[in-house]
Amino acid sequence: MKKKGNIMVNKELLDILACPQCKGGIKMVAEGLVCEACRLVYPIEDNIPVMLVEEARPVESMAEEE
């Protein structure tokens, strides 16, 4: 069973992940993983964080949705 929005990225993985652009730390939110320094959101697909700058969306676009 798959629940929408149920992101299963564990904390240890989160600790080793870093923003590919600034190499800074990232934070998990409902939409994905956020780099607050770059204001980018990296998506999570099938529980795998997509740490690619070209796949990231600006944080601003989240607030504008709906």
Footprint of Zn ion on this chain (CB under 5 A)? 19, 21-22, 24, 35, 37-38
Which residue number, 7 or 59, has a Cβ lying nearer to Zn ion? Answer: 59
We find the least distance from the C-beta atom of residue 49 to Zn ion, in angstroms, to be: 13
CA–CA gap between residue 39 and residue 46 (Å, rounded): 23
Please report which helix (H) or strand (E) contains residue 7, including its range.
none
Which residue number, 5 or 31, has a Cβ lying nearer to Zn ion? Answer: 31
Which residue number, 22 or 59, has a Cβ lying nearer to Zn ion? Answer: 22
Residue 29 in contact with residue 36, Cβ under 8 Å?
no
